[in-house]
């Protein structure tokens, strides 16, 4: 008889306050056969606090390619595994993607055991719009790459969420100001769930001054949130309409393309027709319908 495969549990752990380890996470961590941990010493401390003595295996960015096949074999042999990172939810700026993707592609069961994640935790209490957001992880180190990285999201209407360290936060704020402008609201969420949890709100310039004058505010872990582009929604919509019109315009006259695009995008047919003209779609007669050519009969009188 074929052995039933084990389950891979993706387990979130606290980002500071140990009270945030869920009951379910405790149960899973104490019952699995093996725990794949980013840093076994850190996880051993966490487990020790809860009186759990599980078997650990190191699983981090430098060995994940080598260790993944062993973990997959263990799952296929019927062993249950938990994946944890040092803090928060695995895979979110943390190792685990290789294992989870490989397990899924082998048809193995992967199940999340949710809990803290600094990005969502920061967003939930930031006061910035939370209906739409873009998680960006850590900015690149070099300034040229960082500027290009911000440039690529300059029109994003949702709140931007960035992981950052105290050492680099001033340089990042400087780049945010130069690429995204000085008028957006920012929030720095620091030491979340810990004793010195702080939320600082302001424009880039104000926050830079605050952080320069108060070294304390650069200590510990932080998430930087940036208000989205104020007219980014309109831009994104316009781009979508243009994309639909271009595709339809390849095989339909502009009037029909505009009518169909209106049904597909919910836009107004006349506005889409005009957008099509602005994009250079349509025939000469669309651009100058009879009697409306510049200098034509209807122009003259």
Q: Contact residues for ligand SAM (CB under 6 A)? A: 15-16, 85, 87-89, 92-94, 117-118, 163-165, 189-194, 221-223
Residue keyed to tokens 């001033």? 170
Which one, 79 or 163, has the nearer CB to ligand SAM? 163
Cβ of residue 246: shortest distance to ligand SAM, in angstroms? 39
Cβ of residue 162: shortest distance to ligand SAM, in angstroms? 8
* Coil/strand/helix, residue 138: coil
Which one, 93 or 174, has the nearer CB to ligand SAM? 93
Cβ of residue 115: shortest distance to ligand SAM, in angstroms? 9
User: Which helix (H) or strand (E) covers residue 264, if one does?
Assistant: helix 254-265
* Interhelix angle 269-278/254-265, nearest 10 degrees: 120
Which one, 72 or 118, has the nearer CB to ligand SAM? 118
Which one, 137 or 296, has the nearer CB to ligand SAM? 137
Which one, 68 or 85, has the nearer CB to ligand SAM? 85
Residue nearest to ligand SAM (CB): 88
Which one, 199 or 271, has the nearer CB to ligand SAM? 199
Which one, 84 or 208, has the nearer CB to ligand SAM? 84
Tell me the β-bridge partners of 111.
9
d(CA 14, CA 60): 18
DSSP structure string for 145-195: HHHHHHHTTTT--SEEEEEEETTTHHHHHHHHHHHH-S-S-EEEEESTTST
Q: Rounded to 5 degrees, what are φ and ψ at 163?
A: -85, 135
Cβ of residue 70: shortest distance to ligand SAM, in angstroms? 23
Cβ of residue 179: shortest distance to ligand SAM, in angstroms? 20
Instruction: Give all strands of the β-sheet with 221-226 in edge-to-edge order.
Output: 133-137, 159-165, 221-226, 186-190, 198-202
Cβ of residue 221: shortest distance to ligand SAM, in angstroms? 4
DSSP structure string for 192-257: TTSTT-EEEEE-HHHHHHHHHH-GGGGSSEEEEEEPPPTTHHHHHHHHHHHHHHHHHHTTS-HHHH
Cβ of residue 119: shortest distance to ligand SAM, in angstroms? 6
């Amino acid at each position: 008889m074929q052995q039933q495969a084990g389950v891979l549990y993706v387990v979130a752990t606290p980002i500071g306050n140990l009270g945030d380890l869920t009951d379910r996470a405790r149960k899973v961590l104490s019952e699995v056969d093996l725990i794949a941990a980013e840093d076994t010493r850190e996880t051993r401390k966490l487990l020790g606090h809860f009186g759990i003595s599980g078997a650990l295996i190191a699983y981090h960015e430098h060995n994940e390619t080598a260790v993944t096949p062993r973990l997959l074999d263990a799952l296929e042999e019927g062993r249950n595994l938990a994946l944890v990172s040092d803090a928060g939810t695995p895979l979110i700026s943390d190792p685990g993607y290789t294992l989870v993707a490989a397990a899924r592609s082998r048809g193995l069961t992967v199940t999340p055991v949710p809990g803290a994640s600094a990005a969502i935790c920061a967003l939930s209490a930031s006061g910035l719009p939370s209906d739409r957001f873009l998680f960006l992880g850590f900015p690149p180190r070099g300034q040229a790459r960082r500027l290009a990285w911000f440039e690529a999201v300059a029109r994003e209407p949702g709140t931007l969420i960035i992981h950052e360290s105290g050492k680099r936060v001033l340089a990042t704020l400087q780049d945010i100001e130069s690429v995204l402008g000085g008028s957006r609201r920012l929030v720095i969420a620091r030491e979340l769930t810990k004793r010195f949890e702080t939320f600082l709100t302001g424009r880039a310039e104000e926050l830079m001054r605050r952080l320069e004058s108060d070294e304390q505010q650069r200590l510990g872990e932080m998430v930087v949130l940036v208000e989205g582009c104020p007219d980014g929604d309109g831009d994104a919509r316009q781009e979508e309409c243009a994309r639909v019109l271009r595709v339809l315009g390849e095989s339909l006259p502009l009037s029909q393309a505009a009518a169909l695009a209106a049904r597909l995008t919910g836009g107004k047919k006349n506005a889409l027709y005009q957008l099509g003209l602005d994009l250079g779609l349509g025939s000469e007669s669309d651009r100058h319908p009879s009697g409306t050519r510049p200098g034509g009969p209807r122009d003259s009188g």
